[in-house]
Amino acid sequence: MEDIQKYNKTIRNMTETDWHALQPLVLKICFAIGIRKTLDVFEIKMIRDFLQDEFKNLTLEDIETAFRKWAAGVLDYKGGHYNSFDLYFIGHVLKSFTEYQKEQRRIIYEKPEEKLNDVMFDPEKHYQLMLQTYKKINVIFGEVEKIYDHLRLTGGYDYESKKKALKEYFDQK
């Protein structure tokens, strides 16, 4: 569980201990995209500094997802790595991924109200939507569970009850 929490912290909030997850992640990404050269400690440190300066709001999970999306051809950036996991390549993939995330959020929020109502009236879909949303804005998973439990206990399965239950929950804080 502790490793998962490190993986979901934004780069801005990572501690020195959390950064130990970067090297295995970089090696995993390199292998997955066909780079067989092992990076040394100096190169990992350069990548870390680059991420801290340029991509503070991403998580290590986002970084892994970005390279999976790039490998799948989903991102706008179509350049190659040329067998080098350098800052230029990393920056272009992550920049393209952040644009992709913005577009996905725009699409989600522009859905017709009927589709949102489907999510609101299906407890499991609603829970999944809440979980994804809160995860991305760095709300601790336990808080999401508490909110969902509060909704369930207060009968918050219809829109008005949910709204009222959420208001009550946040008013308690």
pLDDT of residue 145: 60
Mean pLDDT (the chain) is: 80
pTM: 0.61
- In the prediction, which pLDDT does 112 show? 55
CA separation for the pair 60, 51 (Å, rounded):
10
Phi and psi of 10, rounded to 5°? -70, 155
Dihedral class, residue 34 (left if φ above 0, else alpha if ψ from -120 to 50, else beta): left
CB 12 within 8 A of CB 57: yes
Per-block mean pLDDT, blocks of 10 residues, the chain (173 long): 62 91 93 91 95 95 95 92 94 95 78 59 73 62 60 60 69 67
State the pLDDT at residue 139: 46
pLDDT of residue 52: 95
